[in-house]
Structure formats: structure tokens, C-alpha cells
Structure 1
């Protein structure tokens, strides 16, 4: 007897044979029978589907390294980058479009992005003059990379591409708003000034705007796939991973610029708002992405104020909160969603158990 896979359910939804809610119910029933946990209460995450994908990915890395090595013997960066682009796209037609393999597809899109970056970097360096500005050069390199990755996403529909698109978009925004501050930051690592909104740093404003934009884009994808069965939800996952650290970094560094108890109050507000937002959109990944960095900031803040919270205390506080959230995520979200008034898009968010405690 043929087993029905998640891919079969997605195909049935796309063909209009079943609704998203019906497919999600079938998934929940299957997961409950196998592991005792409803699939809709969890956040899907997939890097590979078996060791075969790891094996093929290793082979692809070796194969591409050998071919790129031959191309490098020509001593021409243009030839090297073009070979990388053609090779990545050619292999992706089989492993991404035909075989639907996750990890090999990630390897190929990373190779493609690197080849495009090398090509554009070579073109910029080859045509650089004394009148060529830093902003124009960065926009050419990262703007071109962004366009190339958008093309890849349109052709291959690979959700992981959104992570690379987001990073390229961040570099484009930095090139437009704060190119010189970005280069200065890379040289001196001055967090206190570079990411403090009170200092009027363009770098801080740019990263905050990027984080909010990435969260908004992720939410847009989520609302198109509330039952999280297709690539829209998977694409949103990678955008939320970028959004949370960017927002936390800017707001927390700004909180460090306050004085006395205001620092702790501001840090607590950042954590509470992030938690509420993560619960509303039902994204554990959004909250998880910023927790490690937030733990370091709390420790740094306590050390700076002289009260001396040690690492074990910080880890106990953060770990206890995360464990409690993980254990009671579903009922907490259900209660929060019932308390919140109706707002635009609420019915397009992932469903919640209205009868939960």
C-alpha cells in the first residue's frame, strides 16, 4: 500500500482536492498516532530529509570544488564565476526541481550566491575609477546579488533562499543609508555608538528598519499559509530568523545607553514585546533567534552596572523562561489570542485552540 506523504498533502491542497484545514487535520492525526503530538502545534523545520541528502551534499561540494578548481586554473575570475553560476543552476534543475532535495538545494544556492558575488565584485573592481564611490560600488555588488537571488527563488521556489535574500537586502540598505558607518563598524567593533538610537546612528536605524521589514515580510508569507503546509511558511521561517536578532540588537544596545534602573526596564520591555509578538504569530523561531544574544546583553548590562549577575544566574533565568514557554506554548497562545481584540489579519494567523486553558 502506498503511504501518503506531506508532499502528497501539499499537492492535494494545490490541486483543490482538499482544503488547507483538512490537510492540517490529517497531518495532526498522523502525528498524534506516531508521536502523540499534533503537527499543527509545532513549527516545521527541515534542513535535510535523510542521510542520503547529506551524502549527496558532500558529493556536490567535492564535485563543485573540483570543477571550480579547473576553472580557477585559467586565472580569470570572470570564467570562475560564470562556471559557478551555470553549474549551480544546472544541478539545481535536477536536485531542486526534480528530486526536491533540501540540503543539496541549500548547497547549490549558496554556491550560486557566492559565484554571483564574485562576478559582481570582479566587475566593480575592474571598472573602478577615482570617481567611483563606496555607496555605488556596494549597491552594484549587493543589489545585483539580491536581484540574482530573487530570480533563483522565482525559478526554484527554495525557501532557504529567503535567508540569503534577506542578508543581501540588509547590505543594500546599509549601502544606501550608512555605507561609511558600516565600514567603520567592521573596523573597530564599537557597539556602544554604532547601534545606539540615542546617538543618532544611521547604522542603528537601518538595522532596526531592516528587522521590522523582515518581520513584516515573514508575517506576509505566514498569512498566505496559516496551516503551514507549503513553501510560504518555510520562507517565513528564514525571514523571522533574520528579523529577531536585528531588532533585539538595536533595541537592546539602545537600552544600554540609558541610566540606572531604566536599563533593566527597557530590556524587560524588549523581551516582553518580543514574546507577545512571537506568541501571536506562533513563531518560536522568532523568539529563539534573539535569546542567546539577549542573554549576553543582560549579563553585560549587569556587569556594567556593578551588580554582577553571573553567567549561571543569567542562564537559569533565560532557560527557565524558555522551558516554561516551550512547555505551555499552545495554551498560553490560545489564552492570549482570546484576550486580544479582533484586529486585521487575526483570522489569517495560525489557528488556535479556543477552548484551551
Structure 2
């Protein structure tokens, strides 16, 4: 059997080539440099794949371990108090993230930690502070305090394991905390009174942060582009939810606004080479088409309900296929009209 890296370093220490205290740090350093670690820092090179989506499946071994993690954590969450599920996540993270650096298990454990930690925080809040008050009915300061507690938990998790999606979750929780505090100072009352505004403002801030990560890594060589991907995945639907929360997409006027906003999102997605901007608005686009070709408010004439759904599916499918097939062509057209200095800061044309 081939000698492992740790065994080689241990043998080197026994031979006096390196000190015994250098075995562990050298082992971690070489493992981190050998391939993209799921827990790498935002400045660590991503050598595995020149892709928009972070590569976090390296083989069936990762999938098998992740299935086991999901089954075990589901069982523990169903049988024991939720804080024990958090403890189980930490134990598993020490094995599969900190030591073995497995990509897909790292992602799954990060998501599990964020969910279980949030669930624990809300449970403790209801047991000892707020009682049975719903989070959306609580005061803004109360909601901000809960989000801040989640920030602390995620910050500790990221400090220990350096998983990019953990940093993205930390940034999301931090933006929500700050936004709620600002809105509470401007609008007095319960959180639910300005929840729509929260979606919009937090989404815009997150897109700005994600663009900062993207524009400092136009070739997507580092894991900061992975952080940007996860931020876009949350921020874009949040913006659309905030915009359309007070708009009725089923009306002709609302449908026109939906089409314009989704078109602008698609253009921004093409410039940034991020397809999340395209896919996030498809549901709202479906509502818009329903209004435009519907029976009551439509401008294209009435259709039977069964045919209406089919026409909507055809229209959305054609848009997706056109944009997807011509992605590089459309990007090239947009980039060719930009100044050279701005093109240099945008993701390269693939």
C-alpha cells in the first residue's frame, strides 16, 4: 500500500530531517495546496475547475459519506434535543472537514450547522426570553439579536473550518442583522411591517459584496469566487422578492415591470458571467407571461387555462435555451461595448 503523506512526514521526523512538531503543520499545508480544499481561505487558488459552480463532488466516496451524514443527523435531530445535533455536526466536522477535507461533506455539514444553530438559538429564545412569540411578530431589535447570535455561531465555525459557504452564510447573517437594525431605526413597529424592504435592501447589499469578491478574481482562480456564487444564489431571489412583494405580477402593469427587471437581471448576469441572475427570475417571469397572455388582463388575447400553462412553459423554456446556448455570444456582444478597463475587471470570456 502506498505510503500516506502523514506517514512520510513522520518517517522524515524520525530520520531527523524535520522536527516532530513540524509533521502536523506541514501535512496540513501540503494537503491544502494539493487541491482546492472546501475549507480554504478566500485567497486560496481554485485549480480544479474553471466553472461558475463550485466543484464540491470529487467522487462517489464524498456522496456516500454525505448520505451517511444526512441520515445520522436526521436521526439525532428527531430523537435528541437540537443542541445535541449541533454537537454531532461539530464532531463530524472535525473528522470530515478539519482532518479529511472532504468537499461535499464539508458543504453538507456547514448547511446543517447553520440550520441547527439557528434552530437552537430560536429554541433558547422561546424558552428563556420571548416565550411563544413568532420571530416575524417580534420587535426589530429582537430579530437583530437572533441574527447576531447566528453570526457569532457561523463566525466560530468559519474560523475553525474555513469552508467558503460558511463565510457566505456569515455574510448573509451579518447583512440581515445590520439591515434590520437600520430599518428599525427608520420604521418603528414589528419586523413584519418592513420585511419586504428587508429582502430588497439585504439582497442589494449581498450582490454588492458578491460583486466585490468577483471583481477581485476575474479569472476565478480563488475560492472567493465560490463565496460570491453562494451569495448570488441567495441575494438575487431576495431582491426579486423585495421588488415584487408590493407588486402584483398577475396584472398587466406588474407583468411589464417583471419583464423589465428580469431582463436587467439577465444583462447583469451576462456581464458577471453568473447564471443565477437568469434562473432566479424565471418563476416571476412565469407570472408575468400568465398576465400577458391570460384571459382577464392579457394583452395577447384569451386562452384556455390548459393551453395557457403550456404557452408559459414554452416561452420560458425558449428563453432559457436561447440564453444558455448563446451565453458566450451574448457576453461577447456586451463586453465588446465596454471600456477596456472595465472589461479587465469582469470575469474573462470563456
Does TM, scored on the shorter chain, surpass 0.5?
A: yes
Q: Is the 8 A contact 2:207 2:232 kept in 1?
A: yes
Distance 1:180 1:60 in 2: 42
Distance 1:123 1:156 in 2: 25
Give the number of the structure with larger relative contact order, counting CA–CA contacts within 8 Å between residues 6 or more apart: 2
Can you give the 5+ residue segments of structure 2 that lack an aligned partner in the other structure? 1-31
Distance 1:293 1:166 in 2: 26
CA distance 1:93–1:317, change in 2 (3 Å)? same
Residues 99-144 of structure 1 deviation map (CA, whole Å, 9 limit, x = unaligned):
22222112222332233224322432343269x9633432232221
> What TM-score, normalized by structure 1, do the two folds share?
0.70
CA distance 1:153–1:291, change in 2 (3 Å)? farther
Match of residue 249, structure 1, among 241, 244, 269? 241
Q: Is the 8 A contact 2:273 2:347 kept in 1?
A: yes
Residue 104 of structure 2: aligned partner: 103
Q: Superposed, which structure 2 residues align to 1:150-299 within 5 Å?
A: 150-162=155-167, 164-165=169-170, 168-169=173-174, 172=177, 175-176=180-181, 177=183, 183=192, 202-254=194-246, 256=248, 260=252, 262-299=253-290
CA distance 1:302–1:242, change in 2 (3 Å)? farther
Q: Answer yes or no: is 1:147 the counterpart of 2:152.
A: yes
Q: Is the 8 A contact 1:212 1:243 kept in 2?
A: yes
> What TM-score, normalized by structure 2, do the two folds share?
0.71
Residue 70 of structure 2: aligned partner: 61
Deviation at 1:337, TM superposition (A): 0.9
RMSD, matched Cα? 3.7
Q: Answer yes or no: is 1:334 the counterpart of 2:326.
A: no
Distance 2:52 2:127 in 1: 46
Deviation at 1:46, TM superposition (A): 3.1
Q: Superposed, which structure 2 residues align to 1:85-100 within 5 Å?
A: 85-100=86-101
Residue 120 of structure 2: aligned partner: 119
Deviation at 1:279, TM superposition (A): 0.8
Residue 27 of structure 2: aligned partner: none
Can you give the 5+ residue segments of structure 1 that lack an aligned partner in the other structure? 1-5, 28-38, 184-200
Deviation at 1:171, TM superposition (A): 5.2
Distance 1:105 1:86 in 2: 15
